[in-house]
């Protein structure tokens, strides 16, 4: 018999979800059968699997050692080490200033992503231990393209992961980006359209009218300053679709500088030759939270801001993008 006491990071989820993590290699039919036969109990009683777990609940598995070892995951949570720029952290969540070039989530090719670096950071700081990772895996709540820098939110507890992910899904906060675009823009603009993703070439197409499998998109931008050739924009991402900002601005005739997929080849070559720029100058700058954040009280009314990368600042300075105004927003 094996006995487990539910910890804080395991509370707040259905019992069957917990069992699916504890007995990762077992088919669902197995632990439902074990619950019916009372070979798996919750607080000494027969369980259905839909019970919501609370901290301190007791789980008993009346299984042989061989059966438990067969179905329990022998895989250690993947983790890696890298120096992360932590912008904000509390007991449930943290915000990381992701550099351009780092994956937000695993791509399946073995390249470490922010998720693995996050796990390594939480192990190193003692926020989690190996036992915690058996039934809980920290994760990111929003994704940025590999070559986009800036704020990525992560849950370090089950409460943080569940609630912050729900807030992003429900668009309960305001998200602002900075980008340098080709051309001069003088006025704020709210743009709408439809986005269709071409899975074969991992590229999206923007249209004014709805097409099959397209999704509505909304973007608002305002010019911060320009040098007569390029404009620094603050962009509010109202919907959050794949490549939305990059493709939407390109469809307006103002592609993001350095964007190899949707950008202007001549402008990209200029920035590559002068600044060795190899990625788009798009940065997730700040997130503004509402006054009511449910269980995540520490985030209520908070604004989280990520400094722009050094190369971004060098380009602005080199292009003489209104230094005084620039310092107000960087």
Number of Cβ within 10 Å of residue 133's Cβ equals: 20
Residue 323 above 90 pLDDT?
Answer: no
Structure tokens belonging to residue 232: 């620094």
Residue 325 above 70 pLDDT?
Answer: no
DSSP 292-325: --TT-GGGTT-EEE-PPPHHHHHHHHHTT--HHH
Buried-exposed string 146-168: b where 16+ CB fall within 10 A, e elsewhere: bbbbbbbbbbbbbbbbbbbbebb
Distances (CA, A) of 56 to 7, 69, 106: 6, 24, 33
CATH superfamily of 174-329: Pseudouridine synthase (3.30.2350.10)
d(CA 269, CA 10) in angstroms, rounded, equals 51
d(CA 127, CA 124) in angstroms, rounded, equals 8
Regarding the domain delimited by 86-170, which CATH topology (the fold level of the hierarchy) does it fall under? Pseudouridine synthase (3.30.2350)
Q: Say which residue the tokens 């937000």 belong to.
A: 104
Which pLDDT tens digit goes with each residue over 244-256? 999 999 999 999 9
| % of the chain exceeding 90 in pLDDT | 81
Which pLDDT tens digit goes with each residue over 146-173? 999 999 999 999 999 999 999 999 999 9
Which pLDDT tens digit goes with each residue over 112-121? 999 999 999 9
Higher-pLDDT residue of 18 and 322 is 18
Q: For the structural domain made of 2-71, what CATH number should be given?
A: 3.10.290.10
Chain Cα centroid distance, residue 39: 39
d(CA 146, CA 60) in angstroms, rounded, equals 43
Do 233 and 222 meet the contact criterion of CB atoms below 8 Å apart? Answer: yes
Same fold, 2-71 and 174-329: no
According to DSSP H, which parts of the chain are helical? 15-22, 28-36, 65-71, 114-125, 158-170, 244-251, 265-275, 310-318, 323-329
Which pLDDT tens digit goes with each residue over 61-88? 999 999 998 898 655 668 899 999 999 9
pLDDT at 92: 95
What are the backbone dihedrals phi and psi of residue 165, each rounded to the nearest 5 degrees, phi first?
-60, -40
Per domain, the residue ranges of the chain are 2-71, 86-170, 174-329
Number of Cβ within 10 Å of residue 117's Cβ equals: 20
DSSP annotation of 44 reads T
Give the three-class secondary structure for 251: helix
Instruction: Give the mean pLDDT of the chain.
Output: 93
């Amino acid at each position: 018999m094996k006995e487990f006491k539910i910890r804080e990071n395991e509370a707040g989820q259905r019992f069957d979800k917990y069992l699916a993590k504890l007995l990762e290699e077992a088919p669902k039919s197995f632990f439902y059968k074990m619950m019916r036969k009372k070979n798996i109990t919750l607080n000494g009683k027969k369980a259905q699997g839909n019970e919501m777990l609370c901290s301190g609940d007791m789980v008993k598995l009346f299984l042989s050692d061989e059966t438990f070892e067969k179905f329990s995951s022998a895989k250690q949570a993947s983790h890696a080490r890298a120096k992360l720029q932590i912008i904000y952290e509390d007991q449930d969540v943290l915000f990381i200033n992701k550099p351009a070039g780092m994956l937000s989530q695993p791509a399946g090719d073995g390249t470490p992503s922010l998720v693995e670096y996050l796990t390594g950071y939480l192990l190193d700081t003692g926020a989690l231990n190996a036992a915690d990772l058996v039934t809980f895996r920290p994760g990111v709540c929003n994704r940025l393209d590999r070559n986009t820098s800036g704020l990525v939110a992560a849950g370090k507890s089950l409460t943080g992961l569940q609630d912050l992910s729900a807030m992003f899904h429900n668009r309960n906060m305001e998200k602002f980006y900075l980008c340098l675009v080709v051309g001069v823009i003088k006025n704020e603009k709210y743009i709408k359209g439809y986005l269709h993703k071409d899975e074969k070439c991992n590229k999206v197409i923007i249209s004014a009218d709805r097409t099959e499998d397209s999704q509505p998109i909304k973007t608002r931008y305002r010019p911060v300053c320009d040098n007569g050739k390029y404009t620094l924009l603050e962009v509010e991402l109202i919907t959050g679709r794949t490549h939305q900002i990059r493709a939407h601005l390109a469809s307006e005739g103002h592609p993001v500088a350095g964007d190899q997929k949707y950008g202007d080849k001549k402008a990209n070559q200029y920035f590559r030759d002068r600044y060795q720029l190899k990625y788009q100058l798009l940065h997730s700058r700040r997130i503004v939270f509402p006054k009511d954040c449910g269980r995540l009280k520490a985030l209520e009314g908070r604004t989280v801001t990520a400094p722009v990368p050094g190369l971004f600042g060098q380009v602005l300075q080199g292009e003489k993008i209104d230094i005084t105004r620039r310092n107000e927003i960087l």
